[in-house]
Amino acid sequence: MKGARLDNRQWVAKLAAGIVPGCALALAVMAVVGALCHTTGSPMTLSAQFLLWLAGLLWAVILSGCFLFRSGGWAWGVLGGGAVAVWLLFAVVKSVFP
């Protein structure tokens, strides 16, 4: 798309998309990685600490990148769709690896 420019006219919608579905996406990635690593969830383990910091780092990256979308609706759609897809992946992983 030649001539498409990024602007911040819809910055509130983009920020809200980074906060709400962005958080859901970061937590979903944390859940999938935790299920694949078979972590117990005890905050004293190294794997749980890794997952905690992974979710925070991923959410910070999502919050920083949410302003790169063309519109607030596009940001909500992509981040929300990504969160739903990764949560569905988590359900599959949990059913395959009990």
**Phi, psi of 34, deg, nearest 5:** -65, -40
Q: State residue 41's pLDDT score.
A: 76
Beta strands in 1-98 (DSSP E): none
- Cβ atoms of 10 and 46 closer than 8 Å: no
Single pTM value for the model: 0.88
Residues of the chain with pLDDT under 50: none
Q: Within 13 Å, how many C-alpha atoms sit on residue 22's CB side?
A: 21
- Cβ atoms of 64 and 6 closer than 8 Å: no
- Cβ atoms of 84 and 40 closer than 8 Å: no
Q: State residue 2's pLDDT score.
A: 63
